[in-house]
């Protein structure tokens, strides 16, 4: 650290900050009980997180200096903590008083500590960045080591200190020291954008221990130093442009969810009627759709992903399709689920392309090619909502086959061959081809979707607008009361608590199938198979092994809702009821009135089956 000495006092170079006093203040902060307890862990991890609220409480002047001169102060803090621990430790400060939008950063913020929020859209490969450069004189073989300065620049000496000859020093890369560097691109999160604006982006630089701290799709809160670099007109020219490139040098990364963080003891919330409370908490403004809401609840909590002994992977995510008439609250349900899901993306079928959903090849900062993630990859370990599913082109829908079963996306573009993880649940909504659902046609004829894709949905709900005087009266009064503000929903969870509970259950609860629940599922599956074989005139397939796997996943989700480690018989029965209800709705042949799963699995199968049964 460069220092100026004025009248016997040492000042940090370029400032009026007393160096010795600053070091003493930092030592006093580190020696408090909170951070003394963190030092043993810091020596193992190589870093220590320091809350700026603690700094402000301890020493407001030090707090102000860290924000205004972060480059110099953070370097001093690193040296102080390293001296105390006798090992290199990196200081990461966080919790700035003000969090700015990306579009809110201004030239006055340059070289100051800032905090922004956004969503990661691209993460580069690791790039070696020089930390210490070693130079060797070609004349006298004198070795000179030069540290990269705090701004990341390396000044090459023009003259050898030993033989005094000019332009004889050459860098030795094999003896120089490098650290990892990564370029991250973030854009404004959809929920924080001003109305009518397009999202703005910003590049971040992560070094050393901070690389791989975020991946595409993560919502992150970044604390770092806002910098601006000059753009040279040419490589050999000293002239620079008047417009500078801006970026943030990352100091601290914190992931966050779409909803505010809540501190609740979730196991203590569980009550005997907890399941019904969750149902009422899901889109409380939408009434009389309890079975659909229960299916969506199961999707939110999800099953448990499994890896078998032969390394075969069984998905735990539940896929749901909503099909119905216009004005039946399908889009509102999707919007609410996207809002509650801890991680996920929302897209529309009409505005989505195949590469936009999967991955596409873009240009990197150095002019090379880089693979950028689409909506499904960015929803990894989350949920992807696709509205207007019927408006998708065949090419766009074709990419979903692999995602919905294998949960991967295979890419072979521009010399890049890889397989990306897309472990996401898919919630889709579709309208019938003639706007209204025709009960005289089966579901395939109504929505014109390939059966190979339709069969990959665990639950398919038909939401139909059928005239019913009593029901219409209740619905009309409910809608009017919403506009009047008279409808008061009680005994429900607010959205932040709901979202936090879903995240907690998905992370901490991995229920196991009990012997009794397993037998119940087997019996239920066999009963579903019997539905199609009971008819003497025509045998149909009313369930396949995919339905059995769906039963297991839904049973696991039902147990997760109450944070139970073991799946009960009641969970299994509820899963059977939900799947039966969905199959009876979607797989009933309007011509025969029979449940025929071949309607969802193989196009034209009923006619083929009839031909096979004809006597020769």
**Residue 28 belongs to a domain:** yes
Same domain assignment for residues 87 and 112: no
Residue 229 φ/ψ, nearest 5 degrees: -115, 140
Same domain assignment for residues 307 and 403: yes
User: The CATH number of the domain where 58 resides is what?
Assistant: 3.30.1640.10
Give residue 606's pLDDT: 45
Same domain assignment for residues 297 and 429: yes
**Residue 602 belongs to a domain:** yes
Give residue 611's pLDDT: 41
- Say yes or no to pLDDT of 5 above 70: no
Name the β-bridge partners of 254.
Answer: 221
Count of the separate structural domains present in the chain: 3
Same domain assignment for residues 169 and 55: no
- The per-residue pLDDT for range 168-189, each reduced to its tens digit, is 888 888 888 999 999 999 999 8
User: The CATH number of the domain where 335 resides is what?
Assistant: 3.40.50.300
Question: pLDDT-based confidence at 233, cuts 50/70/90?
Answer: low
Same domain assignment for residues 183 and 316: no
User: The CATH number of the domain where 235 resides is what?
Assistant: 2.40.50.140
Domain that holds residue 26: 3-94
Give me the helices (H) in 270-353, please: 274-281, 290-301, 330-340
pTM of structure: 0.80
Same domain assignment for residues 400 and 348: yes
Give residue 539's pLDDT: 58
**Residue 616 belongs to a domain:** no
Give residue 20's pLDDT: 86
- Per cent of the chain over pLDDT 70 is 87
Same domain assignment for residues 185 and 249: yes
**Residue 261 belongs to a domain:** no
- Give the contacts of 322 (CB within 8 A, at least 6 positions apart): 292, 330, 333, 334, 427, 428, 429, 430, 461, 463
**Residue 366 belongs to a domain:** yes
Same domain assignment for residues 241 and 372: no
Last residue of a domain, one of 94, 121, 143: 94
Give residue 438's pLDDT: 83
Last residue of a domain, one of 32, 59, 94: 94
Q: Cα dihedral sign for 241, 244, 245, 250?
A: positive
Same domain assignment for residues 344 and 441: yes
Name the β-bridge partners of 288.
Answer: none
- Say yes or no to pLDDT of 228 above 60: yes
Same domain assignment for residues 413 and 550: yes
34: phi > 0 → left, psi -120 to 50 → alpha, else beta; which? alpha
364 vs 40: which has the higher pLDDT: 40
- Say yes or no to pLDDT of 343 above 80: yes
**Residue 424 belongs to a domain:** yes
- Say yes or no to pLDDT of 231 above 90: no
Question: pLDDT-based confidence at 259, cuts 50/70/90?
Answer: low
447 vs 95: which has the higher pLDDT: 95
**Residue 347 belongs to a domain:** yes
Q: Averaged over 205-226, what is the pLDDT?
A: 92
**Residue 405 belongs to a domain:** yes
- The per-residue pLDDT for range 461-515, each reduced to its tens digit, is 988 887 778 877 877 887 787 777 655 666 788 888 999 999 999 999 999 999 9
Same domain assignment for residues 437 and 586: yes
- Give the contacts of 495 (CB within 8 A, at least 6 positions apart): 259, 339, 340
CB atoms < 10 A from the CB of 440, how many?
8
Last residue of a domain, one of 60, 94, 128: 94
Q: Which of 253-262, 526-535, 601-610 bottoms out in mean pLDDT, i.e. has the lowest? A: 601-610
Give residue 605's pLDDT: 44
Is residue 460 within 8 Å of 321, Cβ to Cβ? yes
Same domain assignment for residues 53 and 168: no
């Amino acid at each position: 650290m460069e220092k100026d000495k004025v009248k016997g006092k040492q000042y940090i170079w370029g400032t009026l900050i007393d160096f010795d006093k600053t070091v003493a203040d930092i030592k006093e902060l580190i020696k408090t009980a909170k951070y003394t307890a963190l030092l043993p862990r810091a020596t193992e991890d190589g870093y220590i997180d320091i809350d700026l609220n603690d700094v402000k409480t301890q020493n407001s002047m030090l707090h102000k200096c860290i924000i205004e001169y972060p480059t110099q102060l953070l370097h001093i803090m690193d040296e102080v903590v390293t001296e105390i621990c006798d090992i290199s430790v990196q200081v990461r400060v966080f919790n700035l008083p003000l969090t700015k939008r990306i579009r809110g950063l201004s030239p006055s913020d340059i070289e100051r500590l800032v905090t922004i929020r956004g969503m990661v859209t691209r993460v580069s490969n690791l790039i070696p960045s020089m930390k210490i450069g070693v130079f060797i004189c070609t004349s006298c073989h004198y070795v000179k080591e030069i540290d990269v300065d705090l701004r990341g620049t390396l000044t090459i000496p023009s003259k050898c200190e030993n033989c005094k000859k000019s332009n004889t020093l050459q860098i030795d890369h094999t003896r120089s020291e490098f650290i990892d560097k990564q370029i991250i691109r973030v854009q404004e999160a959809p929920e924080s954008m001003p109305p009518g604006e397009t999202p703005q982006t910003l590049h971040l630089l992560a070094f050393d221990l901070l690389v791989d701290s975020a991946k595409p799709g993560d919502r992150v809160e970044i604390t770092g130093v806002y910098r601006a670099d000059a753009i040279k007109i040419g490589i050999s020219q000293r002239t620079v442009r008047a417009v500078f490139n801006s970026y943030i040098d990352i100091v601290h990364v914190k992931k966050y969810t779409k909803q505010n963080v809540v501190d609740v003891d979730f196991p203590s919330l569980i009550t005997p009627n907890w399941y019904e409370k969750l149902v009422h908490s899901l889109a409380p403004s939408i009434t009389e759709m309890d079975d659909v809401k229960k299916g969506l609840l199961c999707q939110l909590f999800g099953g448990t992903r499994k890896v078998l002994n032969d390394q075969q992977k069984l998905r735990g995510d539940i896929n749901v399709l909503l099909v119905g008439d216009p004005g039946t609250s399908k889009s509102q349900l999707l919007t609410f689920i996207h809002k509650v899901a801890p991680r996920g993306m929302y897209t529309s079928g009409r505005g989505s392309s195949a590469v936009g959903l999967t991955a596409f090849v873009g240009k990197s900062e150095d002019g090379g090619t880089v693979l950028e993630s689409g909506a499904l990859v960015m929803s990894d370990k989350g949920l992807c909502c696709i509205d207007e599913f019927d408006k998708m082109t065949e090419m766009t829908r074709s990419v979903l086959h692999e995602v919905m079963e294998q949960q991967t996306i295979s890419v072979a573009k521009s010399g890049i061959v890889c397989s990306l993880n897309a472990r996401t649940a898919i919630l889709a909504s579709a309208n019938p081809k003639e706007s209204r659902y025709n009960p005289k046609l089966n579901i395939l004829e109504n929505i014109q979707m390939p059966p190979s894709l339709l069969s990959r949905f665990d639950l398919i709900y038909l939401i139909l607008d059928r005239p019913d005087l009593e029901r219409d009266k209740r619905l009309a009064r409910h809608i009017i009361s919403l506009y009047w503000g008279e409808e008061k929903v009680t005994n429900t969870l607010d959205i932040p608590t709901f979202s936090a509970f879903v995240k907690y259950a998905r992370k901490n609860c991995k229920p196991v199938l009990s012997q009794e629940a397993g037998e119940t599922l087997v019996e239920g599956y066999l009963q579903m198979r019997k539905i199609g074989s009971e008819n003497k005139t025509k045998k149909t397939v009313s369930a396949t092994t995919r339905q059995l796997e769906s039963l297991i996943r839904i049973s696991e989700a039902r147990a997760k809702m109450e944070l139970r480690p073991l799946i009960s018989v009641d969970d299994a029965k509820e899963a059977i009821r939900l799947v039966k209800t969905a199959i009876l709705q979607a797989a009933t042949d309007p011509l025969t009135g029979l449940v025929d799963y071949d309607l969802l699995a193989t196009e034209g199968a009923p006619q083929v089956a009839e031909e096979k049964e004809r006597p020769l």
